[in-house]
């Protein structure tokens, strides 16, 4: 069941999932231009064990692959930080999401 904009709570609260307080949603605004990751989806897996190395999971349309080479992992870590710099803060991201939801609500009713 979807929630209306008014049901999502006040600005600054966790946007779409108050039951997941460890989740932060950050939106890269359209006016930020081209993003360094293009259309690639990736996850950086970092482990608590000190002797473990990070791994990058790349999700593709029909496949996925794991990267373990340190230089490749470092490229994705740098890309992650570049995306973080381009994105709005959590409160600004929430406002963008709420504005988009509100713009669709008349169509849904």
* pLDDT value, residue 22: 81
| Distance (Å, whole) CA 101 – CA 94 | 10
| Distance (Å, whole) CA 79 – CA 28 | 13
pLDDT tens digits for 20-31?
A: 778 888 999 989
Q: Give the mean pLDDT of 14-21.
A: 62
Q: What is the dihedral of CA 93, 100, 14, 33, to 10 degrees?
A: -20
pLDDT tens digits for 46-88?
A: 999 988 999 999 988 899 999 999 999 999 999 999 999 999 9
């Amino acid at each position: 069941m979807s929630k209306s904009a008014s049901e999502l709570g006040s600005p600054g609260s966790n946007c779409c999932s108050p039951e997941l307080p460890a989740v932060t949603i950050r939106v890269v605004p359209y006016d930020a231009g081209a993003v360094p990751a293009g259309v690639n989806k990736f996850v950086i897996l970092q482990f608590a064990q000190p002797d473990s190395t990070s791994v990058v999971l790349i999700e593709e349309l029909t496949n996925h692959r794991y990267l373990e080479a340190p230089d490749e992992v470092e490229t994705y870590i740098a890309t992650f930080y570049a995306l973080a710099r381009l994105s709005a803060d959590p409160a600004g991201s929430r406002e963008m999401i709420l504005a988009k939801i509100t713009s669709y609500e008349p169509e849904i009713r």
